[in-house]
Amino acid sequence: MPKVSLFITCLIDTLFPQAGQAVVDVLEHLGVQVSVPKGQTCCGQPAFNAGYWEQARVMARNTIDVFDGSADPIVIASGSCAAMLKHQYPALFQDDAGYGPRARALAARVCEFTEYLVDRLKVTDLGCAYRRSVVYHPSCHTLRGMGIDRQPRALLAAVRGLEIIPQEAPQTCCGFGGFFSIKMPEISGEMLANRIAAFEATGADLVVGCDISCLMHIEGGLRKKGSRMRTMHIAQLLAKGLQ
């Protein structure tokens, strides 16, 4: 029986626990034993991206400590947090004799959720059915940071009844950028408006993605303007499709 450790990420933990539950449900449905190591906080990405690398290291050390003592894959249902652990932790502790090797070992275990399903478990068809029309938003850190695009698309393509509608310029950033959304709200808001226009032009029911932070940003914009369109994490869509 395959075993994984789940890094839940602070946004899913505190704002969208239902998405976390869906990740567990899908993995357990596929016979995976899921453990959630105790004491997780934030990966440190917001501090890192804002230039506060010392503070980012504090959070990174906590994460490294929490996941020590196992060789199981660390599944992360958020491309940008996965990229943080995989690419930035080794860079943050490059010259650290203690945490450096541990950061590199941790990075080697990181596996984004859809990557784990498709590339490790070799599953694309979960036997799901879900009658909705969706547009897939390939979040930048999932797409470019982790190189993941084919995996979520394959999973969605296998869902019965699901209509996937392509949007214009699909690889365009939604304007979230973490700290950027608060530091540069005018640019971020304009980029979001442009992206929402592209989503709404498809007439789809839902925007689906692999990164809860971008989805939070997009849904926040949709709600603010009174749109009926909603967002959904891919794990939630798959979990609903299993029911």
Partner 1 sequence: MDTHESSLRERVTTALENKHGLVNIQVATDRFFSGRLKALEALPHADAMRDLARAIRAHTIARLDEYLLQFEQAFTALGGVVHWARDAEEVRQIVLRIAQDAGVTRIAKSKSMVTEEIALNAALEAAGLQVVETDLGEYIAQLSGDRPSHLLAPVLHLSRQDVGRIFAEKLHVPYTDDISELTAIARHNLREVFLAADMGISGCNFAVAETGTICLVTNEGNGRMVTSLPRVHVVVMGMERIVPTVKDLGVMLQLLPRSATGQKMSSYASLVTGPRRRGDPYAPQEMHVVIVDNGRSKALAGDLAEILYCIRCSACLNACPVYRTIGGHAYGGVYSGPVGSVISPVLGGLAAFPDLPHASTLCGACKDACPVHIDLPTLLLRLRRDTVQEGLSPAWTAAGMKGYAWVTRRYGRYRLITALAGALSRLARGRWLTWLPGPLGGWTRYRAFPPFAPETFQRRNRGERHE
Which of residues 159 and 188 has its CB atom nearest to partner 1 in the complex?
188
CB of 170 to partner 1, least distance (A): 12
What is the C-alpha separation between 160 and 37, in angstroms, rounded? Answer: 34
Which of residues 159 and 217 has its CB atom nearest to partner 1 in the complex?
217
DSSP 69: T
Which of residues 124 and 189 has its CB atom nearest to partner 1 in the complex?
189
CB of 114 to partner 1, least distance (A): 19
Query: SS in 3 state form for 153-196?
Result: HHHHHCCECCEECCCCCCCCCCCCCCCHHHHCHHHHHHHHHHHH
CB of 182 to partner 1, least distance (A): 5
CB of 102 to partner 1, least distance (A): 17
Name the residue among 49, 110, 106, 119 with its Cα closest to residue 76.
110
Using the structure block, give the residue that is written with the tokens 């899908």. 26
Which of residues 62 and 124 has its CB atom nearest to partner 1 in the complex?
62
Is-contact 45 81, C-beta < 8 A?
yes
